[in-house]
Each structure stands twice: as structure tokens, then as C-alpha cells.
Amino acid sequence: MATDVEVSYSIRAEEYIELLGSTTASHLSDVQLITSWAREVDGPVVDAGCGPGHWTSHLVDHGVDARGIDQVAGFIRHARETYPAVSFEVGSIDALPYDSDSVGGVLAWYSLIHHPPATIGLVLSELARVLRPGGALLIGFFIGPAVEAFDHSIVTAYRWPAEALIAELRSAGLEMVEIHTRTGAQPKPRPHGAILARRSDDRTSARTEQVC
């Protein structure tokens, strides 16, 4: 059965692709962060909730063994047509079609924002499952003073304090490595965050980095 998120994005897929389906529409610091993170990953990378596929293609262009997966068939159709040399498939990040311990990195760039607090731990555990010991995870999310729902332009999304999301990561067997934050420009000065984490087999010391 299709979820509300899948249906809502499917209805507005073309609009989303036009507005946000390119790395040129992204903040420069996001491009730099994702690129530098992926270059350090040891092994293949899954772009979980890849949308129109632009980040997956960007990683492949930078020499990363990357593949994309998304539940919205319209996004995957666009991705395959636009980036024919890159691997994409339709599927849910809640139940990834990959073996346990099989990938070096997972990019979840704003693909977790619609998961409510009651189920966020399940998808984080699924991302941790497919990571190799010491594998790397990069999450993009909206920051807020409390875990709270808000009216996203597509469908309800959630803001998270970094500390609350880090606690969920730990419960899923992932250890925080870095935090990055920035505030979007006007007219929507929305606080953004990114967390770099590793599967906790690798006891990397945590540190916090604030990026304006």
C-alpha cells in the first residue's frame, strides 16, 4: 500500500524535480559536505531516498561507487532517464533490498524528515543493518528546539534537536562523529543540520563542529 509520503511526492514529482532536482539548487556548504564525506567512505554508497537522483549522480561523477533508491516511481523514472549510467531502483528505505553489512556508506539527505518520532528508530536501524562495521552515515535534517511536526510544502515533516536525533542514532547502533548546522537564507531562514555517524563497531571519538 502506498504511504502518504509516496502519494504526496508522486503527485508533485515534476514540480519537485524542477525546483530541487539538481545540485545547483543546493547550498554550497551542502555540496562540499556530501562530496568530502563520500570520498572518505570505504565501499559502495547507497543514496537512501534519492529523489530525482541528482546526489547519486554527483557522487558517481566524483568517483564514488553509488546507487540510489526511492519509493517514488516518478523520481526513479526521471533519474534513470537523466543519469543512464547510474544505478537506481524503486524501493523503501524502511526495508532496503540489500544484504546486512554490505555497504560502506548511506546518504540519507532529508529523506528521514517525514518519519515521525515513533518510527524513526526503525528506519535508522535498517540503515545501520546494511552498513559494514565502521560504515558511515550522513543525515540531513531540519533542526528545532523540540521534536515537532510542521507543515512541509509536500507533506508533514519533523524538526529535531540534534541531541534527540543523536540519541535515536545511538539506540540504532550508530555513533555520532560530527554535527554541522547552518541557517537557510531569506525568505525561509529555516535551520538545517547534518550529522555524520558511524556504525558503532568503529569507536570513533565524537566531536561537534558548527558550520555557519
> What is the pLDDT at residue 24?
76
> What is the pLDDT at residue 17?
66
Angle, CA of 163, 165 and 168, to the nearest 5°: 115
pLDDT exceeds cutoff 80 at 95: yes
Long-range Cβ contact pairs of 29-37 (< 8 A, separation 24 or more) = 29/180, 29/182, 29/211, 30/109, 30/140, 30/192, 30/194, 31/58, 33/138, 33/180, 33/194, 33/211, 34/58, 34/59, 34/107, 34/109, 34/138, 35/59, 35/62, 37/105, 37/107, 37/136, 37/138, 37/196
Residues comprising the chain, all counted: 212
| Domain annotation for the chain: domains and CATH numbers | 4-199 (3.40.50.150)
Read off the pLDDT of each residue in 110-128 and give the average, rounded to a whole number.
94
Read off the pLDDT of each residue in 83-98 and give the average, rounded to a whole number.
97
- Give the SS3 label for residue 74: helix
| Nearest Cα to Cα of residue 88 among 48, 36, 30 | 48
Long-range Cβ contact pairs of 89-98 (< 8 A, separation 24 or more) = 93/48, 93/49, 93/69, 93/123, 93/126, 93/127, 94/122, 94/123, 94/126, 95/126, 96/46, 96/48, 96/69, 96/126, 96/127, 96/129, 96/130, 97/69, 98/46, 98/130
Q: What is the pTM of this model?
A: 0.86
pLDDT exceeds cutoff 60 at 10: yes
In angstroms, the CA 57 to CA 65 distance is 10
Per-position b or e across 36-75, b if 16+ CB within 10 A of its CB: ebbeebeebbbbbbbbbbbbbbbbbeeebebbbbbbbebb
pLDDT exceeds cutoff 70 at 167: yes
Q: What is the pLDDT of residues 130-161, one digit of tens each?
A: 999 999 999 999 999 999 988 765 668 899 99
Q: Where are the beta strands (DSSP E) in 151-208?
A: 157-160, 174-183, 191-199
